[in-house]
Amino acid sequence: MASETRHGEFAAAWDWDLATGRMTWASGLGALFGYRERVTDARWREERIHPEDRERVKLSLERATIVSPGSPWSERYRFRRADGSYVTVAERAYVIQDAAGPFRVLGELSLEAAPLRIARATGGGPKAGE
């Protein structure tokens, strides 16, 4: 089941432990993008970002964790679904730090609102309440 954000969009939430590199995904990853994985790493996520967007997104998130931890981060880019097709997503994250520096990033990957409405209207995509 995908988690619903305050804006009524559906999202795949994730929790990235910077010390171990482990990313734990909520069930929205399967519901929205067709992946069965629940635990991955940052490289797995990066490999699914469209090649034309990958470097920009990677550098942007690196800057957020190094230069401005504790601040919200967001990007829009194309993400590859399990079937090989790409969909435009909005990703938001928050870098958590302590006295030693950043140690965890919490985020969510959500479908752009317009494609989601189109998918629902044509019988595809998650339904409200799923």
Secondary structure letter of residue 70 according to DSSP: T
Q: Residue 84 falls within a domain, yes or no?
A: yes
Query: What percent of the chain has pLDDT above 90?
Result: 58
For position 104, which CATH number holds? 3.30.450.20
Check residue 113 and give its pLDDT: 65
Q: Residue 65 falls within a domain, yes or no?
A: yes
Burial class (CB in 10 A: 0-12, 13-18, 19+), 10: buried
pTM, entire model: 0.77
Q: What is the CA radius of gyration of the chain?
A: 15
18-66 tens-digit pLDDT: 999 999 999 889 989 999 999 999 999 999 999 999 999 999 988 887 7
Q: Residue 64 falls within a domain, yes or no?
A: yes
Q: Residue 128 falls within a domain, yes or no?
A: no
| Residue keyed to tokens 């171990």 | 20
Check residue 101 and give its pLDDT: 83
**Dihedral of CA 3/116/81/95: which sign?**
negative
User: CA-CA distance, 97 to 84, in Å (whole number)?
Assistant: 35
Q: Residue 13 falls within a domain, yes or no?
A: yes
75-90 tens-digit pLDDT: 999 999 999 999 999 9
Domain count of the chain?
Answer: 1
Per-residue pLDDT at 9 exceeds 70: no
User: CA-CA distance, 75 to 125, in Å (whole number)?
Assistant: 22
Separation in Å, CA 33 to CA 81, 83, 87: 5, 8, 9
Per-residue pLDDT at 130 exceeds 90: no
Question: Residue 109, Cα to own-chain centre: how many angstroms?
Answer: 3
Give the H/E segment covering residue 120. helix 113-121
Work out whether strand 10-17 and strand 101-111 pair parallel, antiparallel, or are unpaired.
antiparallel
Check residue 8 and give its pLDDT: 40
Amino acid at site 28: G
> How high is the mean pLDDT of the chain?
82
